[in-house]
Amino acid sequence: MAKSVKAVKSVKKIKTEGEKRAGVMVWISVVALCLILAASGKLLYDETLKSAATENFAMNRQASAALDIFFSNIYYSSSALLETVSGANNMRPGSFRGDGNAADSSADDAPYPAALFFENNPYAAAVALYENSRYTKDASISLINSSFFRTNDASPRLIDIFTELHIDALNAAQNGIRTVLNGESIFKFPVLAMFFPYRGRAAVVFFSTAELEDLFKTGAETTYCTGMNGTVLLYSERAPRNERVASLSKSYVFKSMLTSEQKSGWLTYTSGNGRRMFGAYTKLTSVPLALITETSYGAILSGLILAAERAAVISVIVILFLALILTSLTKSINASLKKLNLFDDLERKLKTVSRFANMQLARQSLEGVLPDEAEYKKATVLLSGIEAFNENVERLNPKEAFALLNDYTGRLNTCVKKTNGSFEQLPDGIVMGHWGSLWTSGNAGHDALNAIRCALMMRVSIYELNAELAAAGKPVLKFSCGISSGEFIAGTTNWDENSRHILIGENIIIADIARAQTSIFDTDILISESAWRLTQKYILVQEMPPLQIEGKLRPLRIFALINLRTRKGEAQVFPTTLDDVRSLFSPSVQPHEV
C-alpha cells in the first residue's frame, strides 16, 4: 500500500511538473511578445512625434515663404502703380475708379494703368497715396476698384474712415515702416490694409484675404498670421470659431518667438487646457508679421492609435494561437501520464472511500501531512439531528427511510463542505461538523463564524426539504442544532488499515446538550457562550435561561441563533427576532422568505 501511494505521488508530481512547465512556457511567450510590442510601440511613438515635429516646422516655413512672396508682390506692384500714375502727364489729385470712371471727372481723365492693375489683381480693393506734410481727409491719389466694392456691397468711403482711425500707421509709413492691419471691423468682410512708404510719403493698399486661403492649408490644426503685438490678422479655416482668438499675446509660442533671436523655430508645450502641443513660428521678412502653427499630439497620434489597435488585435490572435499550441502540448503530456491509470484509479478509489470516511482525512493521509500524534486544537463543533428520528423512520419502509436519510445528510454535508468544515456521520441521524481541527482558517473566530454560517444554511436547506415533504403528504422533520467552541484533543486512530479522526472535549457534550434543549426553548439552533463570544459582532441572538449542568458550578449560558447581522446602513434581513425563527415552523412561510 505504501509503495502504491509513493508511486501515485511520483506520477502526480510528474503531471504537476508537466503542467507547470507548459504554463511557464505560455507565460514566457506572452511576456516576450508583450515586451517586443511595447518596445516597438515606444520606437514607433518616438519616431512619429519626431516626424510630426519636423513636418509641422517644414509646413510652417513653406507657408511663411508663400506669405512673404505675396506681401512683397503686392508692395512692389502697388509701388509700381503709384510710380506710373503719379508720373503721368497732367495727372491731378483726386479719386479714380478702376473701371475707367473718375469719381469727380470725366472718363477721359481716368488712369489706364489703374484699370489694368485692378483687372490683373481683382483681390485688390484700393491704392491710396498721402502727402508727407500732414494727413488730410482726401488722399492726393486714390485709386479704387469699384467692381470689388460692388461685389461686396460696400462703399469706397470706408477707406477714408479706416485711414482716419489709423493715422499712426500713416505716420509710421512716412518714417519708412511697413504695417499690416485688419480692416474687417470696418469693412464687415475680410480685408487687410498694408501701409508702406513711397518717396517720403505714406501709401496704403487694401486687399481681400481670399487670395491667402490656399496659403493657410498647412495641415496643422490651427494656423495664425499675427502682428508683432500678437493681433491675429489671419487664421486657418480648421480653427473652430469658438476657439478663434483676437490676440496671441499670451500664447506660449508667441512669447517664445518674441524672446528668440532666431527667425524661425519649433517647440513642444502643454496648453492651458492640458493638451500636449507642437508649435512652430516664422517671422516674415517683407512685413512685420509672423506665422504661427499649432498641432496637438492627439491629432498626430490618431493614425498611430489606429495602427496600435490593429497591432493589438493581431497580437491577441498570435497569443491565442500560441496558447492553443501549448495547451495541446499540455494535453498530450497529460494523456501520456494517464496511460499509467494509476493516478486516475487512485482518485476514483479516493472518491469511493470518501463516501464512507472523511475526504479531508483521506487526502491529508495521501499527502503525508496528517499528524501522527494527538494534539490540542482550538475548534468549533456543530451537532445536528432530527427530533424523534427513530419514530419518523419507523413510519417508513426501509427504502423510503434510507432515501430520506440520504437526502437529509446529503444536504447537511453540502452545507459543511461549503463552509470549509469536516463532516462526520453519527448514529441515530446525528451529524457532526467541525472547523479548526483538520482544516483551519487560521483564526478561531473565523472558524466559529463558519460553523454559524453552516447552521443557518442547514436551517434553510431543511426548511426547503420540509416544503417538499409536505407537498408529497409526508411528515416533516424537526431540525435541531447545537454549537460550541473551545479546546479539543484531536488525533487519528489507527486500527489495522483503517483510520479515523477523533475529537475529544467537553465542548462536544455542551454542543449536544444545546441541541437537545432546542425543543424546550422552541427554537432550532442554540450556541454556547464560548461560540457566542467569538462571533457576537456578526450575529443576532437572544439569550435563553441558563442551564444547570451536573458537575458544573456555573450555569451554562446558551443563546438562540436568529441570523447574521447585515452591514451597517443596510436593513436587517428576515428573520430578525426569535418569533420570526419560530414562525419558520409554520407552513405559511414560503422558502424564498427564509
Residue ranges and CATH numbers for the domains of the chain are 1-202+306-354 (no CATH), 357-593 (3.30.70.1230)
Measured between alpha carbons, how far is residue 195 from residues 74, 164, 229, 467 in Å? 11, 13, 16, 101
Measured between alpha carbons, how far is residue 70 from residues 63, 64, 128, 284, 287 in Å? 11, 10, 19, 11, 11
**Residue 514's pLDDT band (cuts 50, 70, 90):** very high
How many alpha carbons lie under 13 Å from residue 401 in its C-beta half-sphere?
12
pLDDT of 388 strictly over 80:
no
Mean predicted lDDT score pLDDT of the chain: 78
Select from 343, 320, 363, 315 the least CA-distant residue to 18. Answer: 343
Higher pLDDT, residue 518 or 391: 518
Give mean pLDDT, residues 335-363. Answer: 53
**Residue 3's pLDDT band (cuts 50, 70, 90):** very low
Element holding 108 (H helix, E strand): none
- What pLDDT score was predicted for residue 194? 93
Backbone angles phi, psi at 143, to 5 degrees: -105, 120
334 burial level (CB within 10 Å; 0-12, 13-18, 19+): middle
Q: Indicate yes or no: pTM above 0.75.
A: no
Q: pLDDT tens digits, residue range 142-169?
A: 899 988 999 889 999 898 889 889 989 9
Give mean pLDDT, residues 536-547. Answer: 94
Q: pLDDT tens digits, residue range 284-301?
A: 988 999 988 888 777 666
Higher pLDDT, residue 142 or 348: 142
Higher pLDDT, residue 443 or 110: 443
Question: Positive or negative CA dihedral for 67, 69, 73, 76?
Answer: positive
What's the CA gap between 125 and 155, in Å, rounded?
Answer: 11
What the block records as the C-alpha cell of 126 is 484700393
Q: From the centroid of its chain, how far is CA 519?
A: 56
Q: Using CA atoms in the order 107, 108, 113, 118, what is the torsion angle rounded to 10 degrees?
A: 10
Give mean pLDDT, residues 353-380. Answer: 62
Q: Using CA atoms in the order 277, 283, 284, 290, what is the torsion angle rounded to 10 degrees?
A: 50
Give mean pLDDT, residues 45-49. Answer: 68
Residue 118 and residue 147 in contact, taking contact as beta carbons nearer than 8 Å: yes
Backbone angles phi, psi at 465, to 5 degrees: -65, -40
